[in-house]
Amino acid sequence: MTVSDLTQLMSKVSTKGVNDGAVEIPVEARRLIEKLTFAAPEDIWQALRESLAEDWTALPVWARNLAFRLLCLQRPDDAENLGQAGADLLSFGPDWDAFAGQLLARSEELKKDR
């Protein structure tokens, strides 16, 4: 049986017993992840706009990717959100260029259908 990359990563951050060698996530990062997980899409969108307007490079790539991903999952037919998410991913590629292309293509499709 092969263990997926995602399962391996989950294992590395899991807390087995008393943090048996697990990765410690800084409190601020943990709070952000928890808040983002249950945030309304309009709150995520507002926070992204404000954060990126303040200092476009300050928000870590993992945090922006997570925020845009959750936003797009909650609003899969919002052309503006999908386009912004795709453009943002292109800024930090090339690892995510294929995903960015899919988001941008979907955004354009939705704009045509209006």
Residue 38 belongs to domain spanning: 27-113
pLDDT tens readout for residues 88-108: 999 987 899 999 999 999 999
Place of tokens 């912004």: 84
**Mean pLDDT value of segment 12-27:** 68
Q: For residue 2, name the pLDDT band (cuts at 50, 70, 90).
A: low
Domain count, the chain: 1
Evaluate whether residue 1 is within a structural domain. Answer: no
Q: For residue 19, name the pLDDT band (cuts at 50, 70, 90).
A: low
**Mean pLDDT value of segment 43-54:** 94
pTM of the model: 0.84
Spatial separation of the C-alpha atoms in residues 65 and 92, rounded to whole Å: 10
CA distances from 55 to 33, 59, 72 (A): 20, 8, 22
